[in-house]
Amino acid sequence: MNNDFVTLNNGVTMPRIGYGVFRMTDAAACEEAVVQAIQSGYRLIDTAAAYENEEAVGRAIRRCGVPREELFITTKLWVTDTSYEGAKRGFARSLERLGLDHVDLYLIHQPYHDYYGAWRAMEELYAEGKVRAIGVDNFTQDRLADFLFWNKVKPAVNLLECNAFFQRENERTYLEREGIQMQAWSPLAAGQGKLFENETLCAIANAHSKSVAQVVLRWLVQRNIVPLVKSANPQRMKENLDIFDFALTDAEMQQIAALDTGHSCFGSRDTAEKVHAFLDAACSYQV
């Protein structure tokens, strides 16, 4: 397996691993990190209107020295704009901030508000060639099943939290069956749960002379999941890409499977109170 591409359900190819910029709100630092990431070899950059760094990402794209057509740029529609009119407006603003004439992947960031209306607008943007693929983010299986039932254009991607402690095999097999590419956010659990000190992961890493981060990222790509990983450190950026010269055995894959807790590392929004608290926070700022 090489650091090449997966093919989405509309024929568009997408890199097997991406670089994410969530929480990089210092514009200069974000711009510099994205330039370094691209120069280290990343070709997929994952941002969002809500990350408030699309302008910095756009500057990095112009500065990095790699032609635009070799890059795969994702951005996302925020909850407050998740409606037909909102998606048109939100997309135009994202494009302007990025300084691009199209993006490669446009995702509905959260499964709330009028995401059916937003999808109509996204289908139009797709037909107009302003986005090469459209998809969803954080859509659990029950919501996605309903969504697929009523829509003609199938999402190309569903981006979900997925890491060694929250493995989502059930979601992965469902998405594979539907021909929807799964991406993983916080693939290293953002360092939660003492991931880097986990005994099982350390033993497997030692056996391959690799790091725990490399083992977890490799485990994701061997499950046909595209990880979006963040590091502000140039050394670790390169380390996280260097996962295509070794393979985990079936036994090692099973040992990692046994680490699944079945729970999010960041807390699920599984009650009305949690959803309302999230929506209150989501509406408290404009993107």
Ligand X SMILES: NC(=O)c1ccc[n+]([C@@H]2O[C@H](COP(=O)([O-])OP(=O)(O)OC[C@H]3O[C@@H](n4cnc5c(N)ncnc54)[C@H](OP(=O)(O)O)[C@@H]3O)[C@@H](O)[C@H]2O)c1
Residues carrying an active site annotation: 51
Q: Which residue has the tokens 């594979």?
A: 176
For residue 2, count other CB atoms closer than 10 A to its CB. Answer: 7
How many whole angstroms separate alpha carbon 31 and alpha carbon 261? Answer: 36
Residue 231 touching ligand X (CB under 6 A):
yes
Stretch that binds ligand X, among 64-72, 118-126, 199-207, 229-237 (CB under 6 A): 229-237
- Residue 109 Cβ vs ligand X, minimum distance, rounded to whole Å: 6
Q: Between residue 55 and residue 74, which ones bind ligand X under the rule CB under 6 A?
A: none
User: 254: Cβ–Cβ under 8 A, 6 or more apart, which residues?
Assistant: none
- Residue 59 Cβ vs ligand X, minimum distance, rounded to whole Å: 18
Tokens of 159: 């981006």
Residue 189 touching ligand X (CB under 6 A):
yes
Residue 228 touching ligand X (CB under 6 A):
yes
- Residue 90 Cβ vs ligand X, minimum distance, rounded to whole Å: 15
Rounded to the nearest 5 percent, the helix, strand and coil shares of the chain are: 50, 15, 35
How many whole angstroms separate alpha carbon 183 and alpha carbon 189? Answer: 14
Residue 241 touching ligand X (CB under 6 A):
no
Q: 181 forms bridges with which residues in the sheet?
A: 157
Stretch that binds ligand X, among 3-11, 92-100, 186-194, 271-279 (CB under 6 A): 186-194
Give the binding site for ligand X (CB under 6 A): 20-22, 46, 137-138, 159, 185-191, 196, 211, 213, 228-233, 236, 239-240
